[in-house]
Amino acid sequence: MAGSSVGTATLLGSVAILLWGSLALLTTLAGPVPPFLLTAITFGLAGSIGTGFILLRGATGRAAVAAWGQQTVRAWAIGVGGLFGYHLLFFVALRSAPAVQANLINYLWPLCIVVFSAFLPGERLRWFHSVGGLLGLAGTVLLVGGPALEVRAEFLPGYLAACGAAVCWGGYSVLSRRYCAAVPTDFVAALCLVTALLAGLCHLALETPYAPSAQDWAIMAIMGAGPLGAAFFFWDIGIKRGLLRTLGAASYATPLLSTLGLYLGGRAQITLEVLGAALLIVGGAVLAGSDALRAQKTTS
């Protein structure tokens, strides 16, 4: 029964990975919506929808919502820091660097999960974790610098934001497993609402007011319901109850789906550099997560 529970949780985490494959394209389709405003609206929708579903459970749901205020400061810090920090950096990266490059650099986060999880209790860092990390780094260098390894200064803020996003999401996923395993998944709705509030305040203080078009609202509604909504709840279940390193390795299906979506949506071109970098990054993640994949086959 426990094995079935772990398998189900891992499967739900994988659904989140599939949903995130559409995030980069949807972000670029959202037009010139400022990053903080985009974060505020999409997370506000996600938190509201999630809270609505929780309250549909009647007294049990109301009790779950009331329990949000009893969560520890650490749970709030890890949750809000992960959700707000990652998506802010991700949206900034897509606005400040070429979409394909920023997207693939951002998808170093699965590798971060695989490597970071090696430091969890009962785990240890092995040679294939290190080699996988180096392959991922090599892919990132190729992606950013091209054959001549010349970093274009005007895109550097976007590259750094994408790297920061990768570390942020990898850290959030592993820290949630380590310190927030007992926190109910319902709490994700609260994290989304607080993230929306913080992003809204940042928009008012730092960005030029912007009125989204009808198309912008339609795209943001899809984002709030899917890759920036349901996906968080599925991911929370996966990282807390499923096979974390297996999910980390499987997450490298996302940059391929994401890059393909950008290409089919006319938002990016696929070059030999991009293909080479993708192979290095994906290959590094597969190698780094190979022990988790072998463990899953052994237990199945």
Cα 88 to chain centroid distance, Å, stands at 11
Mean pLDDT calculated for residue range 269-287: 77
In the predicted structure, residue 150 carries a pLDDT above the cut 60: no
DSSP state of 97: S
CA distance 111 to 282: 9
Tokens of 93: 């990266």
Place of tokens 């490059």: 101
In the predicted structure, residue 47 carries a pLDDT above the cut 90: yes
CA distance 286 to 37: 36
Structure confidence at residue 296 as a pLDDT band (50, 70, 90): low
Q: Quick one: 187 exposed, middle or buried, by C-beta within 10 A (0-12, 13-18, 19+)?
A: buried
Place of tokens 């985490």: 13
CA distance 75 to 68: 10
Which pLDDT belongs to residue 110? 79
CB-CB contact of 250 with 288 (8 Å):
no
Which pLDDT belongs to residue 2? 47
Place of tokens 């240890």: 124
Mean pLDDT calculated for residue range 170-199: 94
- The mean-pLDDT minimum among 75-79, 103-107, 231-235 falls in 103-107
Alpha-carbon torsion angle 222, 223, 228, 234, nearest 10: 40
Which pLDDT belongs to residue 3? 46
In the predicted structure, residue 270 carries a pLDDT above the cut 50: yes
What's the chain's average pLDDT? 84
Structure confidence at residue 172 as a pLDDT band (50, 70, 90): very high
In the predicted structure, residue 114 carries a pLDDT above the cut 50: yes
Which position has the higher pLDDT, 88 or 258? Answer: 88
CA distance 142 to 150: 9
pLDDT digits (tens, 9 = 90+) for 69-83: 999 999 999 999 999
Q: Which amino acid is at 171?
A: G
In the chain, domain spans? 2-299
